[in-house]
Structure 1
Amino acid sequence: MNQPEFIIRKATENDAELIFNLIKKLAIYEKMENDVITTAEQLKENIFKNNFAEVVIAEENSKPVGFALYFFNFSTFLGKPGLYLEDLYVEENHRGKGYGKKLLLHLAKIAKEKNCGRMEWSVLNWNEPAINFYESLGAKGMKEWTVYRLDKETIADLVK
């Protein structure tokens, strides 16, 4: 049997609907389905027109099987950019083939090319498979840091 052809390609504006559908699948996996309020049109605007994030698509035999969405931040202590991985998702029936690792290595290569001082992401505390996967690659949990968030309503209240 032939080995499937696997590629990672940069997403284009034409992929907005695909990205939206993959985000919905990720949200179902993360038990956060009701939190997805974006639209494909909003993704097209903010990713491809405003350039707030970048996306790569993983394909097996020319069919999408996953994605990674990332953006660059900046470390004042390092004086360098960092690559922040917002989402990485591989379709359930394609897990275990090494595609998640290939996506992460692809991003690590981008981080190296951009001279990033680090690569970071968040993982849900209950997501043992993801935690084990990341730790197997040498990633370390930042136990001394706590994530804080202001939502849209709180931001609006602050700037009245």
Structure 2
Amino acid sequence: MQNFAIQVLKEQELDILIELIKEFALHEIMQDEIKCNKENLYHSIFKTKVAKAFLLKENNKTIGYMIYFYTFSSFLGANGIYLEDIYLKKEYRNKGYGKQVFKF
């Protein structure tokens, strides 16, 4: 059985996250839309903390990522979260990892 883990992104892993974002953009045929860089990811995730980022791992090997941020609905008067990205490398899909991310 595979060991799946969701781990909080560390500052020294920003380059890994950027590569995964680029892979996701390529998968979505949106590589021309990528504007983020290490500096603005650092600012948003670690400095202002407006977004949360996690690496998805199987047996300690990075296989994907997820990013979310908090929202607020004035109509509902309640907060929530918006899952911006959930990405798994192709060979790790259909293993139930996405369901585990949503349970998380």
Give the total of aligned pairs: 104
Supply the distance in 2 between the matched residues of 1:23 and 1:46 (Cα, whole angstroms): 15
Which residue in 1 is equivalent to 2:67? 69
Structure 2 residue identity aligned to 1:50 = T
Which residue in 1 is equivalent to 2:3? 5
Which runs of 4 or more aligned residues in structure 1 lie more than 3 Å from their structure 2 counterparts after TM superposition?
none
TM-score, with structure 1 as normaliser: 0.62
User: Larger relative CO (CA 8 A, sep 6+): 1 or 2?
Assistant: 2
State the SS of the aligned residue for 2:49: coil
TM-score, with structure 2 as normaliser: 0.93
Structure 2 residue identity aligned to 1:31 = I
Supply the distance in 2 between the matched residues of 1:79 and 1:6 (Cα, whole angstroms): 35
Supply the distance in 2 between the matched residues of 1:105 and 1:31 (Cα, whole angstroms): 28
Indicate whether 1:26 and 2:2 are aligned: no
Q: CA RMSD in A?
A: 1.1
Supply the distance in 2 between the matched residues of 1:35 and 1:94 (Cα, whole angstroms): 25
**Greater fraction strand:** 2
Which residue in 2 is equivalent to 1:101? 99
Identity %: 37
Structure 2: where are the runs of 5+ without partners? none
Supply the distance in 2 between the matched residues of 1:46 and 1:21 (Cα, whole angstroms): 17
Identify the match of residue 78 of structure 1 among 68, 76, 79.
76
Which residue in 2 is equivalent to 1:14? 12
Q: Is the 8 A contact 1:16 1:41 kept in 2?
A: no
